[in-house]
Amino acid sequence: MIEPTHQEQIEQPPKRERTRKRILDAAEEAIRDNSNLHALDMEEVAARAGIARSGLYRYFPTKEEMLKTLITQRSAELRFGAQPLGDNEDLARYLERTLNMLVQFWRHRRAIYLTGLDLSDMDREFHRRWNQELVDNWTSVLVDVYQRDVEAGRVTAPLADPWSTAEFLTMAVVSRLQSLYRDTDQPEREENVLRATLEVALRGFGLRPPTQVS
């Protein structure tokens, strides 16, 4: 048996962290297969993760806590894609790219997003924290990109309060996404909702909407 080197041991995540990730990945698979928050069974998640049910409860005492952690972690993955690509990416291009990314991200995780909405209906504090974190993070980036456009002379009439505009538009995006994904019978509305949201966002910043959203 080949023993791992000291460096390999350092680079490997702790066992508890690896097990926790395995549980959350198993929960996501189970949600995709069941598409029903209430039908999700902790024993099934434990079996998919390859651990005993009693072991699962040492990590997550309740199903709700496990799912809240899953939703929060998946949402956090959006932060990396929401960062500007570079100084040449102006606000219009940034908005178009990140809105497309946001819709595509949740399109492939529709069951996860709907689970998050179900949890929000049952726990208003979770609803508030989940939405507020997304709003705060994206608002901050929007303002940074907008200010960069102002400094580069790409904005002819700068807004007096870009933060309020960015915050309002971010809340509008969150609301539109929630409405879109609750309506699972009409997935073809995604492109129209995306285009309309982008146009509203650009007009809010005094920018001209593009002729087409890819």
pLDDT tens digits, 23-75: 999 999 998 887 666 778 899 999 999 999 999 999 999 999 999 999 988 88
Same domain, 79 and 127: yes
pLDDT tens digits, 82-130: 777 777 788 888 888 888 888 788 778 888 888 888 888 888 998 888 8
Give me the domain span that covers residue 19.
Answer: 14-61
Asked if residues 76 and 82 have their Cβ atoms less than 8 Å apart, the reply is: no
Who contacts 20 (Cβ-Cβ below 8 Å, separation ≥6)? 59
In this structure, what CATH number is given to the domain that contains residue 43? 1.10.10
Same domain, 34 and 91: no
Residue 41 CB-half CA count within 13 A: 5
Same domain, 130 and 188: yes
Whether the per-residue pLDDT at 77 is higher than 90: the answer is no
Is residue 168 included in any domain, yes or no?
Answer: yes
Q: Averaging pLDDT over each range in 10-14, 183-187, 193-197, which range is the top one?
A: 193-197
Same domain, 190 and 138: yes
Is residue 8 included in any domain, yes or no?
Answer: no
- Domain count of the fold of the chain: 2
Is residue 4 included in any domain, yes or no?
Answer: no
Is residue 3 included in any domain, yes or no?
Answer: no
Domain's final residue, options 61, 94, 117: 61
Asked if residues 88 and 69 have their Cβ atoms less than 8 Å apart, the reply is: no
Domain's final residue, options 5, 32, 61: 61
pLDDT tens digits, 142-156: 899 899 888 888 888
* Dihedral angle sign, alpha carbons of residues 205, 208, 213, 214: negative
Domain's final residue, options 6, 34, 61: 61
Same domain, 77 and 176: yes
Is residue 67 included in any domain, yes or no?
Answer: no
Same domain, 120 and 198: yes
Same domain, 93 and 167: yes
Whether the per-residue pLDDT at 9 is higher than 50: the answer is no
For residue 3, is it left (φ>0), alpha (ψ between -120 and 50) or beta?
A: beta
Q: How far is CA 131 from CA 136, 173, 174, 202, in A?
A: 9, 11, 7, 21
Same domain, 106 and 189: yes
Is residue 137 included in any domain, yes or no?
Answer: yes
Same domain, 131 and 189: yes
Give me the helices (H) in the chain, please: 6-11, 15-34, 42-49, 53-59, 63-76, 78-81, 91-107, 110-122, 124-151, 162-182, 189-204
User: Nearest Cα to 214, choosing from 86, 110, 99, 91?
Assistant: 99
Instruction: Tokens for 162, please give them.
Output: 């870009």
Instruction: Tokens for 7, please give them.
Output: 């460096």
Is residue 135 included in any domain, yes or no?
Answer: yes
Is residue 1 included in any domain, yes or no?
Answer: no
Asked if residues 170 and 138 have their Cβ atoms less than 8 Å apart, the reply is: yes
